[in-house]
Amino acid sequence: MQMRYLDRTLATIEANLALDEALLVVAEERGGPAVLRQWEAPEVVVVMGASCRLRDEVRVEACREDGVAIVRRSTGGGTVVIGPGALNVAVVLPIDIAPGLEAVDVAQRFVLERMAKGLRTLEPNVEVLGSGDLTIDRRKFGGSAQRRLRKHFLVHVSLLYHFPLELVDRYTTLPRRQPAYRTGRSHHEFLMNLERAREQIATVVHSSWISPGPPIAANVPEALVDHLVATKFGDPAWIGRL
């Protein structure tokens, strides 16, 4: 399999979430390629999972006070705070690329273990724990979420490398569902930065998926991105639906 690569950050958080979704839709409905995309939000933003409840997981008043946007992605998982210092990775793959990927947990671990193998060249103690966390010594620096269509799936991964972790406490509550290995720890006790240069991390992630040589760039389906922003990711009814 030859994956396409896209290192592109669009102007708004809504457009960036829409682009990840668009790459999945293009693969599913138009026979598009498998894709690895990396991007980084230029401003701090709170991103809820598709099924997260706004008032249960987000400190809405603090976000409003600080002018921090609250949005909702199409993948599952919990609420995250991202921005400068958090590298976002989207992996779009066909379900039949490897045995067992019909199962959500198997597909999640398939992506995370491959990424962890590369990251161990920077930090040997990287381990996949829980339902899809990247950790070092049982502290989390990377979280993931998944969206599935009939023939393809998308896995989002956010990698904290130089992020102000105190903002996670300010803008989000403790999740109701926690992996056992968290043992009730606060955000401050549980989260960490990988503490490597962005370029190092991006290079390792790239080489985990893309064959050596000049990468083939993925196209940006601009019309589909605009449509998804207008009808979903920028729609207040979608963002506040739960």
Helices within the chain (DSSP H only): 13-30, 54-57, 60-66, 104-119, 166-171, 187-190, 198-209, 222-228, 236-239
d(CA 62, CA 60): 6
Where in the chain are the domains? Answer: 4-239
Looking at CATH, the fold of the domain delimited by 4-239 is given as: BirA Bifunctional Protein; domain 2 (3.30.930)
What is the structure's pLDDT at 208? 95
pLDDT over threshold 80, residue 63: yes
pLDDT confidence of residue 212: 85
Q: Assign 2 a pLDDT band (cuts: 50, 70, 90).
A: confident
Q: Find the mean pLDDT for residues 139-148.
A: 97
Among residues 197, 182, 189, 183, which one has the least CA distance to residue 168? Answer: 189
Q: Are 152 and 145 in contact (CB under 8 A)?
A: no
Q: Which residue has the tokens 């601009």?
A: 222
For residue 213, what pLDDT is reported?
83
pLDDT per residue as tens digits for the range 171-181: 999 998 899 99
C-alpha radius of gyration, the chain, whole number: 17
- Which residues does 177 contact at the CB level (< 8 Å), separation at least 6? 78
Q: Residue 171 has which token pair?
A: 């803008």
